[in-house]
A and B are shown apart, each in its own frame.
Chain A
């Protein structure tokens, strides 16, 4: 506080700063609220997806058991064969209240389905069922992964924004207000000093005037008592009449 000279210019500067800080604070609060709403939405979505995934995962693995009962062990055949991915995950960016969130989307590469004739001599239907169930599970997993990464990023962003809001609220703005109040106090005091000085000067001036007025009054009361040394003083221009021809 002592660094800032209490001038009117500084007062203007700091008023502007306070306005900016307050404006920024309002905006950040809005952003934090928007993020909070999204945060709650994501949390709900994640809870829902997780609970449905439990059931889907159980049924997917059970359909695998059924398929192995009907078709024998086909795990090695799938694992040892050549595999080309039919489904890929793409990473994208979603913008929420200015925060960039990572999202995963699934897209199919359109490659031919391998191992289509896997259960040819037995259990074919069950293997098709396994494929379907695991596709559903895969979709859920991609969705859940996307939700969770977004949730984490959102969490970070929310924390940062809240920190900034709190900083503005509890540190920056009070400081600026302190400076402003100091400046205004100092200015007031300067004004008061000025005022008192002015009053004193005025008083002195009045006194001087009084003195000079008193001197003049005394000089008027005693006109003949002026000095002989001063000859011209005895000669008055109105003593003689003008000579007119």
Chain B
């Protein structure tokens, strides 16, 4: 039997040859998510030690065994470390193209780390502190990281920085694209762009390039992966576009000249909203107009109404989280594609968010707000209950 070409994930007949083992692992890990009963017990806890006690029966037992007392921050760190260990283990079992796919997942965190290191180096912070703050999923070579702050804070410095350091990292190309576009846009001042432009805007631009790149790669893979993962990425791009528009009201980004120049450049070139929706979003300047634009897209108008109607209970971020969790859970429903790996990382992140939320609520004695999290793989969530009737 010939080994299939290592360029496509294969279909139902050939997927398992190369990628069956990692998929089996990931599905095994799926059962480690906290159940409804676990969440229920956790919300009933009075102190953080109770929370710790309850978590010892779950998959987090080993992760928490070392520390003496638990704080929400330590819980978050332990949970993220556990996720990173699992991810690295999965990654070592994979071959191309699944390996590259998993690397793509890490680029998101790498972008964040690079921005943090650069900005911190500009402000003169100690490199060791900065490295500690980096997200563990997005680490790249230590030597590269340490060399970032050694560059001078001048135009020549940035050129050198890019040539020697960033070009090695996988996210280097995104940086190149960003600098290129800045040169096009602002002229010769592009060298100072790292200082002038806010860190969030640079990061949003880099994430945009990453999304487009990822989407391209996934489309090339074809098959179920392209369908399911493509959908997930499109929805992610749309979420970004809507959030950027919504959150830019009241900041300098919303002024008419900034809108066409800077804000437009932040909208990704993938997604259901592209190109018609995003071109409409460019001109939006307040929430009413945004609502009207989104009414044309039924799936987003529902979420928008959650924000516009009752801004007390649920916010638009909650709406997006719920919708994301639903789609990511659905990714697990079919086999023979890569999207389960992406879904696993994202759902685990949501679970960590939930755990931190619950422990903070208990710590700050805000018991009435404690149920405002989105459980993962819950049997009682609205869309599952809706189906049963």
Contacts and interface: CB of A to CB of B under 8 A. Distances in A.
Interface stretch (A118-126, A174-182, A194-202, A224-232): A118-126
A65 B364 contact: yes
B317 A70 contact: yes
B204 A125 contact: no
B364 A125 contact: no
Interface in A113-161: 114-126, 128
Interface stretch (A16-24, A75-83, A210-218): A75-83
B320 A122 contact: yes
Contact of A116 (B198, B204, B244, B356): B198
Contact of B199 (A70, A77, A125): A77
Interface in B116-134: 116, 119-120, 122-123, 125, 130, 133
Interface string A191-209: 0000000000000000000
Nearest to B266: A120
Given A120-B201, A121-B204, A82 B357 contact: no
Contacts, number: 88
Interface range, B side: 35 or more
Nearest to A113: B251
A81 B360 contact: no
Nearest to A116: B251
Contact of A117 (B120, B201, B239): B201
B94 interface: no
Contacts of A80: 116, 119-120, 123, 125, 130, 133
Contact of A128 (B116, B250, B357, B360): B250
B125 A124 contact: no
A82 B315 CA distance: 30
The residue in A70, A116, A120 that gathers the most chain B C-beta atoms within 10 A of its C-beta is A120
A169 interface: no
A218 B240 CA distance: 148
Contacts of A56: none
A27 B18 CA distance: 98
Contacts of B123: 80-82
A125 B119 contact: no
A120 B317 CA distance: 12
A115 B317 CA distance: 20
Given A77-B116, A120-B204, A125 B247 contact: yes
B125 A120 contact: no
Contacts of A77: 116, 119, 199-200
Contacts of A119: 200, 247
B248 interface: yes
* Main DSSP-derived SS at the B contact region: helix
A145 to B, nearest CB: 24
B251 A121 contact: no
B35 interface: no
A123 to B, nearest CB: 5
Contact of A120 (B200, B320, B356, B364): B200
Contacts of B240: 121
A4 to B, nearest CB: 72
B199 A81 contact: yes
A117 B200 contact: yes
A122 B373 CA distance: 16
Contacts of A66: 369
The residue in A66, A70, A121 that gathers the most chain B C-beta atoms within 10 A of its C-beta is A121
A71 B247 CA distance: 12
A115 B122 contact: no
A80 B199 CA distance: 10
A205 B134 CA distance: 121
B243 A121 contact: yes
Contacts of A128: 250
B253 A117 contact: yes
B247 A61 contact: no
Contacts of B199: 77, 81
User: Considering the complex of A and B, which 10 residue pairs feature the smallest CB-CB distances, nearest first?
Assistant: A124-B247, A80-B120, A70-B317, A116-B251, A65-B360, A117-B200, A76-B133, A120-B200, A82-B123, A121-B243
Given A61-B364, A77-B119, 19 more contacts: A65-B361, A66-B369, A69-B317, A69-B373, A70-B315, A80-B123, A81-B119, A81-B123, A116-B198, A117-B248, A120-B201, A120-B266, A121-B207, A123-B317, A124-B247, A125-B315, A125-B316, A126-B315, A128-B250
9 contacts: A62-B366, A65-B360, A70-B315, A80-B119, A117-B200, A117-B251, A122-B239, A122-B243, A125-B315
